[in-house]
Amino acid sequence: MKRRHFLTTSLAALASPAGAEHHGKKAEELFKISLAQWSNHRALKKNEFTNLEWPEYTKKTFGILGLEYVNRFFKDKAEDQTYLGELKKRVTDLGMTNILIMVDGEGHLGAGTEEGRQKTVDQHKKWVDAAKFLGCHSIRVNSHGEGKDDDEKAANCIKGLTSLANYAKGHEINVIVENHGGLSSNGAWMAKVLKEVNLPNCGSLPDFGNFHGYDRYKGLDELMPYAKGVSAKSRDFDENGEEKSTDFRKALKIVMAHNYHGWIGVEFEGKKMSEEKGIKLTKKLLETVRSELA
């Protein structure tokens, strides 16, 4: 479950304070680049390739070896051992890594009733099992709380996350929450929830672009202490290859200040260019800034 750092990270680096100097490190030691499957949601919806074919497409087209799945693209296969076995075999044969599954459409972990929360937890269990089978380290969940006020919504999210994380612990799987709209996009509120859950396998998946109406750099800084993954959201680029909404240099400096050296996922969501071009521009920008930081 300790996926914030690769095995090559030294104990000295782990012990270094926030804001530690990273010059002198090889670029690849700062972080590795993965691909969030949502970046190809248009192509997948058009059946240009299938979920089973996506790993090979990712490696051949982008040279990216880390895979972050979205459950909606194999929604009926969570308990299909034959299907999951074939997917795992293809990924292994390609020399790639399954990282996480982003889970949507399985209910609210912060439901307002115990019955509602338990139903949601039960519906997420099959994805914990699938993640374990595929060799992922996490499932990404949503934390939309129900209640009369923000405190009650937080309390319900804490209960749901705690229950699911306790189940996932037995499978050595992390349960990680993305800032994904509503109160989850409030960095302070989400950080408070995770602090109260206080389980080593329950953390965050900070997304550069999903702090709706909230300062993205402040929110990123608040969620990074709990991060077991990072999503480099991109939508549009200027003529110099810079992302128009997020200063990637500023964002990645915050990530590095928290001594995070795990995977950072490319997540292109723009509509003004092809998915392939957007993914390539995002990867290039991450590589450029990574080299500068090294």
**CATH code, residues 32-293:** 3.20.20.150
Is the pTM here over 0.85, yes or no?
A: yes
From start to end of the chain, where are the E strands?
Answer: 32-36, 66-70, 97-102, 138-141, 174-178, 202-205, 230-234, 263-268
Instruction: Decide which of 20 and 217 is more confident.
Output: 217
Instruction: Please compute the mean of the pLDDT values over residues 108-119 and round it to a whole number.
Output: 96
Domain ranges of the chain: 32-293
Average pLDDT, the chain: 93
Residue 56: count of CB within 10 angstroms of its CB? 15
Q: What is the pLDDT of residue 243?
A: 98
> What pLDDT shows up at residue 13?
37
The mean pLDDT of 249-260, rounded to a whole number, is 98
* Model pLDDT for residues 63-110, shown as the tens digit of each residue: 999 999 999 999 999 999 999 999 999 999 999 999 999 999 999 999
Asked if pLDDT for residue 10 goes beyond 50, the answer is no
Note whether 204 and 230 are within 8 A (CB). Answer: no
Q: Find the helix or strand (DSSP H, E) in which 281 lies.
A: helix 275-293
3-state secondary structure at position 202: strand
Residue 231: predicted pLDDT: 98
Distance, in Å, from the CA atom of 170 to the CA atom of 200, rounded to the nearest integer, reads: 12
